[in-house]
Structures are given as C-alpha cells and as structure tokens.
Amino acid sequence: MLPAAIDTPIFQHAANYTGRATQPVPPLYSPEKVARAIVRLVSRPKRRTIVGASGRLLLLGHRIAPGLTARVVTSIVERRGFRDEPAPPTPGNLFEPMTEWNRVSGGYRHRDRQLRLLRLVVRGLTVALPKSALKLILR
C-alpha cells in the first residue's frame, strides 16, 4: 500500500525536533479512501496499490528521472511541509501513546478546502472584474 499524503494525525503524533511546525504537503486524500483500497485488496490482491494521483505521478517521475524527482520533491517538502511558526521539540508518540489527536482525521483537509475555496473566489474575481475595479478592492 503506497498512499500519498493522507489526512491523518500523523503530523501531530510524529516526533519533531526541527524547531518548525510541520504540515502535510497537499493534495491530501481522506483516510477512508485508503481504507477502501485496503478492503479491495482483500478480494483482489495486488503487489502494489497506490492511493492518490499525486502518488502515481511521483512513482512515474521516479521511474523516468529519479534524481530530478528526488530534488523536486525535497524542494517541495522544504517549502510546503513546514509552517513559518516555531514548534517546541517533541518526541510525539515515540516513547508513549498520546492521549490527544486520537481521531482518524488530522483535520487538514478541512483547512485545505477553505484555502481552495478562497483561491477559487479570488480567481473568479480576477476574471469577472475589470483590472481597475480589482486595484480599488485590493488597496
């Protein structure tokens, strides 16, 4: 099972000694999508199952140009996988279970959906309004 970025609390449970808050790199897929793929494998076993189009794209990139793909992915994770806010060092659940963040979802898709909606509205405004009106709004 090769899932792409899945909206689970893994980033809340993971140890973090980077000094920066972490976050998953979009696009994010629901945990339910992975669960459905696992259930399908019970009746139709396969050697490899990739969940999420971004995972398939990464695998293709790795087959065609592994070095370039590694450099691009590293750059994307460095830019998008960390937030600009500081985070204290934490061992996460490495040494003992965490009592918080015990849900299936990490809550990231909800925030991602809000950001996509905002981008869609901004794009719609740039298409629908003349440039002079946009300059007045964005002052």
How is the chain split into domains, by residue range? 2-106
Amino acid 91: pLDDT: 93
Three-state DSSP class for residue 96: coil
pLDDT in tens, the chain (139 residues): 888 889 988 888 899 999 999 988 888 888 999 999 999 999 999 999 999 888 888 888 889 999 999 999 999 988 889 988 999 999 988 888 888 877 778 888 766 555 555 555 555 655 655 555 545 544 4
pTM (two decimals): 0.66
Three-state DSSP class for residue 20: strand
b/e sequence 93-132, b meaning 16+ C-beta within 10 Å: beeeeeeebeeebbebbeebeeeeeeeeeeeeeeeeeeee
Amino acid 15: pLDDT: 93
HSE of 102, CA atoms in CB hemisphere, 13 A: 4
Amino acid 108: pLDDT: 80
